[in-house]
Amino acid sequence: MLNKKEQRLRRARQTRERIAKQGVARLTVFRSNLHIYASVISEDGARVLASASTAERDLRSSLTGNGGSAAAAALVGKRIAEKAKAAGVEKVAFDRAGFAYHGRVKALAEAAREAGLQF
């Protein structure tokens, strides 16, 4: 019997196999109770091209409360899109890391799309 974390990691592994076949950079998301993190990883998976999170000092100053809200996730989504574009990445595959596409993960994805990332 798999526990909750093992089930999530199993889903994540399946997704990453599909994304690897596409040959595009991936926007991966990790959420904890207090923060949400986003990284754009190169096609070969060797380098992190851009990253953003609610744990960053300048982003934390603009938050009310902690980084565990959908509004905070939207700020991270906008910021990761800006950083990815600055690194020359326009098109990515969204890797939700086994988390449900709901709440904070969805808010981050929609904000990144609005800021110009294509996925």
12-66 tens-digit pLDDT: 999 999 999 999 999 999 999 999 999 999 999 889 999 999 999 989 888 877 8
Domain coverage including residue 77? 4-114
In a domain, 119, yes or no: no
Nearest to 37 by CA among 5, 6, 3, 83: 83
Q: Extract the tokens encoding 82.
A: 């800006």
CB 27 within 8 A of CB 82: no
**Is the model's pTM score more than 0.85?**
yes
Q: For residues 61 and 83, which has the higher predicted lDDT (pLDDT)? A: 83
* CATH number for the domain that contains residue 27: 3.30.420.100
Number of structural domains found in the chain:
1
